[in-house]
Chains A and B, each alone.
Chain A
Amino acid sequence: MSNKIISMIRKELIDAARDKRSVMAGLYYAVGAPLLMCGMFFLLIGQLTSPEDLNIKIGNAQGAPDLVKFLSSRGISQGDSEDTKDIQLVISDNYAANMAKGLSAEVTVIADASDEKLQISIRRLEKSLQEYSGEMGSLRLIARGIDPRVMQPITLNVEDKATPDSKAGMILGLATMTMIYAVFISGMNLAIDTSAGERERNSLALLLSHPVSTWEIVIAKITAVTIFAMVGLVLTLIVSKFAYAFVPWQELGFAVSVNTSFMVMMLIIGAPVAIMAACLQLFVSFMAKSFKEAQSYITIVLMVPMMLAMAASYNIAPETIQWLPVSGQLQALIEFIKGRELPLTQLAVSSAFTLAIALSLAIGMQKSLKSEKIVFGL
């Protein structure tokens, strides 16, 4: 790289550093997003997991004292305090009579199954009731001289191929998405400032009047924005590494950890995305007529990579998205963190695609900087 470009990159970075507030605003995302995610998961875990002592309403509890006692040994009991869950267990009036005759005794669970906060607690109650019923059924058979194994003609063995990491797939997808999104947000302010902003301050024309080629200017600006994007990514990764370790994932039965190999992989795969993000943001800003317009355009344009990233992390889109930029890389990262094989072809194609887009945007920018319309914002 020629000295001219290097000194221009320095100029861009110094420029950026001068306007601390707008630059820091970009980096706030890098630090804040993982922290917010962790806070959200903290709350989510607290709501999703069933409390150790599950208080529910039990109707006609005196009709089945042994069942009530069994449930309380499973941590489920009649509650009258405020933290009683909106789950009702009603024991039928003829429970004891039916039970004594060897028939099925009826109990009813009344709850709103669409309430996500209750689902785990409802399942826990149902499982405990089944356990009780199974135990009594076995003992009833034993009392009649029959081996309870005859009740279970099929033994179901499940061999789950999931690893602790892959069980966390959905959350990892979301986490990876917020990380890769950092490259778009972190450089955004700088991209607008160095293009539309410079033009508004009339320093762009001044720059162009110097003996440097438009290519050199474009490369310097892209590099500066890319550096910012990557700094954002590094920051996000570091903050995530520490913040994610504090979330009690094990209560959900899996682990989420940001380890070094993932961080390295993220930086390598994230680099082309950062370059494309820089080109995209600079291009759009140049096309806009003013600073404000640039801001609104970029917000709209950023929806596209956002959509692609979401599609990849929620696994909702057709197979083709694994060949596209952003989503392809994101999917490869998710596979990597789940401990599966890296889809190298897809990764190569989507990365090449990403760089091709970046290159064509750069060419477009280089061309446009020769047009007066763009330079003076006419």
Chain B
Amino acid sequence: MLHGMYSQLRARVAPALWRKKPLATAFLLGAGLLIPSAQADTSAKTLQSNSNNQQACYVDGLSEQMQCGFILVPENYAKPDGKQIEIHYVVMPAIKPSDKVEALLAIAGGPGQSAIENAQGFDRMLSKVRQTQDVILIDQRGTGQSNQLQCVGDGFDSALAVNESDFDTRVETQKCLDTLDADVTQYGSLNALKDFEAIRQHLGYQKLHLYGVSYGTRMAQLYMRHYPQSLATVTLDGVVPMQQSVLAIGNAIARAFDLLIEDCANNRLCHGQFPQLRSDLEKVDAELTQGPKISQVPDPLTGEMTQLTLTRSKFKGALRMALYSPSTRSLMPHAIHQAAKGNYQPITGLYAMGIDNTGIAMGMHASVVCGEDWQRLTPELRAKTSESYFGKEMLKTFSESCAVWNMPAVDASFSEPIDSAIPTLLLSGELDPATPPSWGELAMEKLSNAKHFIAPYATHGVAYQSCGNDLIAQLVEQGSVAELDAECLNEDIRRNFYLNASTVEAIPSDTTEPKEQTALIK
């Protein structure tokens, strides 16, 4: 395994710990709006400028005028006169002119995703909130336009052809570190939090409502710990509790795989079509453990013939990423079944989706994980994590890359539960392959004014898939969790599984079909 040194490979091969897949996939699949996350340098096009670095601008996927700007902060807060970096933000103005006292800050996942590149998703999800509140998006330091720590490797012609086991994580990580013009030890969550608070003050809002998704929930919890006076309400969606190292994600992934197989078995159509799903999955897994399958396939994008080296890592990785979004999840039984029959097309398609539209800044990702998660793993936890395939792979990768990255460990108090009375809404998806509901429970430990809702049919990013966004709007409006009701989350929004490469509806028995066909021909 490697650690994101090769940007084309980073999605599948590097264990991007968790991320807001709905943003990447939901849009890719929604409404024919295919929006691969944009290049950082083009995602906000600026118009005329005005005072204090703020300009009217446009962000990708939204036609409306926004306000963009940046502040300069020291890269190292201990050396205020040292190197300065730009932290970029976008204010999506409230539709009803607000009094500028409060705003909602939406924090992206990853770690390493750019909030600004995902503006369209936030805008759609938070449309009710935006009727009355400004929404602020900040590219956290090391992501997007804020001195992005990205590694672009070389050495491979095609992401499809590479065999990940040939990859030397240590060497590639070192190569990446050498190209970065930054003190990577300064790109952890706590420094980024200071940037956030500086932007709040710069923009002049008295109080913020927070929405954090995935890794963003860690930022939100740190905000609750360090600047409680600046917060009105907090929503944590796909919760990573402070007590939890994200490297424990391996077991969550295994759990999500089991839930998928169970779901299919309980679905009459899916079970009828794929009665042996678990053994199909195990069969392919066993085959690929023996060695990769090499074949010639048309490249998913260019259509040219190219070599596909289907490794276990690609196969499992493609399926894992498909678990993030309900729409790609619905294709999984078909993809697994076809792979068992030797047809790797659906797996190739799923794999290709993640090749270059994930938008994770791997350098920043490493700074956060190596400083905050890697070093706090106890031997017991390490042993437990190694039980699953993904856990083992991740431990191996990070043990090599973190040795190069050399991040100082955060203080032990970092892992203490958040003790707060700020109105807080926690949302977990039962089917979440990254942050299972049990993590949300853990985060509740010392929250005295919080509610934790579990959406039974949602995956990662509950607010994007259910009425969770309405609950956020209600929380922001009322400023209290007292009247929030989880009832609407129970609405059955499950969709059918794909039964072949084309349909989700029951396939009619085609006894009469040939006749009609011949009749037409005549």
Q: Which residues of B contact A66 (CB under 8 A)?
A: 495-496, 504-505
Known contacts A127-B31, A159-B58, A159-B63; 7 further A-B pairs (Cβ under 8 A): A102-B502, A134-B33, A146-B298, A146-B349, A147-B301, A147-B353, A249-B95
Q: For the complex formed, measure the closest distance between the CB of A315 and the CB atoms of chain B, giving whole angstroms.
A: 22
Q: Is B417 an interface residue (CB 8 A)?
A: no
Interface pairs (21), CB distance under 8 Å: A66-B505, A70-B495, A99-B505, A102-B501, A102-B502, A131-B32, A134-B29, A134-B31, A143-B346, A144-B345, A145-B300, A145-B346, A146-B349, A147-B301, A147-B352, A149-B34, A151-B32, A155-B35, A159-B63, A160-B64, A250-B95
Question: By the criterion CB–CB under 8 Å, are B65 and A131 in contact?
Answer: no
Q: Is B324 an interface residue (CB 8 A)?
A: no
Residue in B352, B496, B503, B507 with the greatest tally of chain A CB atoms within 10 Å: B503
Q: Which of B34, B132, B345, B491 contacts A148 (CB 8 A)?
A: B34
Taken residue by residue from 482 to 508, chain B's Cβ proximity to chain A (1 for < 8 Å, 0 otherwise) reads as: 000000000111111011111111111
Segment of A10-18, A251-259, A266-274, A343-351 in the binding face = A251-259
Q: Which of A99, A133, A149 contacts B503 (CB 8 A)?
A: A99
Q: Which residues of A contact B503 (CB under 8 A)?
A: 96, 99-100, 102
CA distance A147 to B160 in the complex (A): 13
State the main secondary structure of chain B at its contact with A.
Answer: loop
Question: By the criterion CB–CB under 8 Å, are A149 and B36 in contact?
Answer: yes
CA distance A250 to B130 in the complex (A): 9
Q: Which residues of B contact A108 (CB under 8 A)?
A: none
Give the top 9 A-B pairs by smallest Cβ distance, nearest first.
A134-B32, A142-B349, A145-B345, A158-B63, A143-B501, A102-B502, A131-B31, A147-B300, A160-B63
CA distance A136 to B497 in the complex (A): 12
Q: Which residues of A contact B298 (CB under 8 A)?
A: 145-146
Q: Is B30 an interface residue (CB 8 A)?
A: yes
Name the interface residues of A146-180: CB closer than 8 Å to any CB of B: 146-152, 155, 157-164
Interface of A with B (CB < 8 Å)?
63-67, 69-70, 73, 95-97, 99-102, 127, 130-131, 133-152, 155, 157-164, 249-251, 253-255, 257
Given A102-B501, A142-B328, A250-B132, the answer on whether A151 and B96 have CB atoms closer than 8 Å is: no
Specify the chain B residue showing the minimal Cβ separation from A97.
B508
Given A100-B502, A142-B350, A157-B60, the answer on whether A255 and B97 have CB atoms closer than 8 Å is: yes
Question: By the criterion CB–CB under 8 Å, are B349 and A144 in contact?
Answer: yes
Q: Is B327 an interface residue (CB 8 A)?
A: yes
Question: By the criterion CB–CB under 8 Å, are A164 and B93 in contact?
Answer: yes
Question: By the criterion CB–CB under 8 Å, are A255 and B96 in contact?
Answer: yes
State the main secondary structure of chain A at its contact with B.
Answer: helix
CA distance A73 to B505 in the complex (A): 17
Specify the chain A residue showing the minimal Cβ separation from B322.
A142
Q: Which residues of B contact A149 (CB under 8 A)?
A: 28, 34, 36, 301
Q: For the complex formed, measure the closest distance between the CB of A69 and the CB atoms of chain B, giving whole angstroms.
A: 6
Question: By the criterion CB–CB under 8 Å, are B502 and A135 in contact?
Answer: no
Given A97-B510, A134-B30, A138-B32, the answer on whether A73 and B349 have CB atoms closer than 8 Å is: no
Q: Is B513 an interface residue (CB 8 A)?
A: yes
Q: Which residues of B contact A255 (CB under 8 A)?
A: 95-97
Given A69-B493, A96-B507, the answer on whether A148 and B95 have CB atoms closer than 8 Å is: no
Q: Which residues of B contact A162 (CB under 8 A)?
A: 65
Residue in A143, A254, A255 with the greatest tally of chain B CB atoms within 10 Å: A143
Q: Which of A96, A144, A152, A253 contacts B505 (CB 8 A)?
A: A96
Question: By the criterion CB–CB under 8 Å, are A65 and B505 in contact?
Answer: yes
Q: Which of A100, A102, A137, A249 contacts B96 (CB 8 A)?
A: A249
Given A100-B502, A100-B507, A102-B502, the answer on whether A142 and B32 have CB atoms closer than 8 Å is: no
B contacts with A, residue count (CB < 8 A): 60
Segment of B76-84, B227-235, B329-337, B437-445 in the binding face = B329-337
Q: For the complex formed, measure the closest distance between the CB of A172 and the CB atoms of chain B, giving whole angstroms.
A: 14
Q: Which residues of B contact A161 (CB under 8 A)?
A: 65
Q: For the complex formed, measure the closest distance between the CB of B34 and the CB atoms of chain A, giving whole angstroms.
A: 4
Question: By the criterion CB–CB under 8 Å, are B65 and A139 in contact?
Answer: no
Q: Is B193 an interface residue (CB 8 A)?
A: no
Given A136-B504, A143-B345, A145-B348, the answer on whether A164 and B97 have CB atoms closer than 8 Å is: yes
Q: For the complex formed, measure the closest distance between the CB of B475 and the CB atoms of chain A, giving whole angstroms.
A: 18
Q: For the complex formed, measure the closest distance between the CB of B294 and the CB atoms of chain A, giving whole angstroms.
A: 16
CA distance A189 to B220 in the complex (A): 64
Q: Which residues of B contact A159 (CB under 8 A)?
A: 45, 58, 63, 65
Question: By the criterion CB–CB under 8 Å, are A253 and B95 in contact?
Answer: yes
Question: By the criterion CB–CB under 8 Å, are A100 and B505 in contact?
Answer: yes
Question: By the criterion CB–CB under 8 Å, are A143 and B335 in contact?
Answer: yes
Q: Which residues of A contact B345 (CB under 8 A)?
A: 143-145
CA distance A137 to B60 in the complex (A): 23
Q: Is B480 an interface residue (CB 8 A)?
A: no
Specify the chain B residue showing the minimal Cβ separation from A245.
B96
Q: Which of A101, A130, A140, A160 contacts B31 (CB 8 A)?
A: A130
CA distance A149 to B300 in the complex (A): 9
Question: By the criterion CB–CB under 8 Å, are B502 and A152 in contact?
Answer: no
Q: For the complex formed, measure the closest distance between the CB of A353 and the CB atoms of chain B, giving whole angstroms.
A: 34
Q: Which residues of A contact B65 (CB under 8 A)?
A: 159-163
Specify the chain B residue showing the minimal Cβ separation from A257.
B97
CA distance A309 to B334 in the complex (A): 65
CA distance A64 to B505 in the complex (A): 6
Q: Which residues of A contact B95 (CB under 8 A)?
A: 164, 249-250, 253-255
Taken residue by residue from 129 to 172, chain B's Cβ proximity to chain A (1 for < 8 Å, 0 otherwise) reads as: 00110000000000000000000000000000000000000000
Question: By the criterion CB–CB under 8 Å, are A65 and B28 in contact?
Answer: no
Q: For the complex formed, measure the closest distance between the CB of B40 and the CB atoms of chain A, giving whole angstroms.
A: 16
Q: Is B254 an interface residue (CB 8 A)?
A: no
Question: By the criterion CB–CB under 8 Å, are A139 and B32 in contact?
Answer: no
Q: For the complex formed, measure the closest distance between the CB of A167 and the CB atoms of chain B, giving whole angstroms.
A: 9
Q: For the complex formed, measure the closest distance between the CB of A116 and the CB atoms of chain B, giving whole angstroms.
A: 22
Question: By the criterion CB–CB under 8 Å, are B28 and A139 in contact?
Answer: no
CA distance A29 to B257 in the complex (A): 69
Taken residue by residue from 389 to 403, chain B's Cβ proximity to chain A (1 for < 8 Å, 0 otherwise) reads as: 000000000000000
Question: By the criterion CB–CB under 8 Å, are B513 and A148 in contact?
Answer: no
Q: For the complex formed, measure the closest distance between the CB of A67 and the CB atoms of chain B, giving whole angstroms.
A: 8
Q: Is B190 an interface residue (CB 8 A)?
A: no
CA distance A135 to B33 in the complex (A): 9
Q: Is B198 an interface residue (CB 8 A)?
A: no
Given A158-B63, A250-B96, the answer on whether A144 and B34 have CB atoms closer than 8 Å is: no
Q: Which of A142, A152, A257 contacts B346 (CB 8 A)?
A: A142
Taken residue by residue from 23 to 51, chain B's Cβ proximity to chain A (1 for < 8 Å, 0 otherwise) reads as: 00000111111111000000001000000
Question: By the criterion CB–CB under 8 Å, are B330 and A139 in contact?
Answer: yes
CA distance A151 to B498 in the complex (A): 20
Q: Which residues of B contact A102 (CB under 8 A)?
A: 501-503
Q: Is B297 an interface residue (CB 8 A)?
A: yes
Taken residue by residue from 298 to 310, chain B's Cβ proximity to chain A (1 for < 8 Å, 0 otherwise) reads as: 1011010000000
Question: By the criterion CB–CB under 8 Å, are B32 and A145 in contact?
Answer: no
Given A97-B513, A142-B353, A255-B95, the answer on whether A135 and B30 have CB atoms closer than 8 Å is: yes
Q: For the complex formed, measure the closest distance between the CB of B331 and the CB atoms of chain A, giving whole angstroms.
A: 5
Residue in B30, B35, B297 with the greatest tally of chain A CB atoms within 10 Å: B30
Q: For the complex formed, measure the closest distance between the CB of A143 and the CB atoms of chain B, giving whole angstroms.
A: 4
CA distance A152 to B36 in the complex (A): 11
CA distance A3 to B415 in the complex (A): 84
Q: Which residues of B contact A143 (CB under 8 A)?
A: 331, 334-335, 345-346, 349, 498, 501-502
Question: By the criterion CB–CB under 8 Å, are A144 and B45 in contact?
Answer: no
CA distance A70 to B494 in the complex (A): 9
CA distance A249 to B131 in the complex (A): 9
Name the interface residues of B85-136: CB closer than 8 Å to any CB of A: 93, 95-97, 131-132
Q: Which residues of B contact A148 (CB under 8 A)?
A: 28-29, 34, 353
